[in-house]
Amino acid sequence: MTPEAARAVERATVAIAAENFGFSTETITVGAGAEVTIEFDNRDDGVPHNVSVYTDASAAEAIFVGEIVTGPARVTYTFTAPSEPGTYFFRCDVHPSMNGAFVVA
Q: 19-36 pLDDT, tens per residue?
A: 999 999 999 999 999 999
Rg for the chain, CA atoms, rounded: 14
**Taking 70 as the threshold, does the pLDDT of residue 6 lie above it?**
no
| Phi and psi torsions of 96, nearest 5° | -60, -15
Domain ranges of the chain: 10-104
Answer whether 70's CB lies under 8 Å from 95's CB. no
- 62-95 burial string, b = 16+ CB within 10 Å, else e? ebbebebbebebebebeeebbeeeeebbbbbbeb
The pLDDT, as a whole number, for residue 87 is 98
pTM over 0.85: yes
Q: What is the mean pLDDT of residues 89-101?
A: 98
The pLDDT, as a whole number, for residue 20 is 98
Report how far residue 34's alpha carbon sits from residue 7's, in angstroms, rounded to the nearest whole number. 11
- 3-state DSSP assignment of residue 5: helix
The pLDDT, as a whole number, for residue 31 is 97
- State CA 35 to chain mean position distance: 11
CATH superfamily of 10-104: Cupredoxins -  blue copper proteins (2.60.40.420)
Answer whether 49's CB lies under 8 Å from 92's CB. yes
The pLDDT, as a whole number, for residue 9 is 77
The pLDDT, as a whole number, for residue 14 is 97
For 30-85, the pLDDT digits (tens) are 999 999 999 999 999 999 999 999 999 999 999 999 999 999 999 999 999 999 99
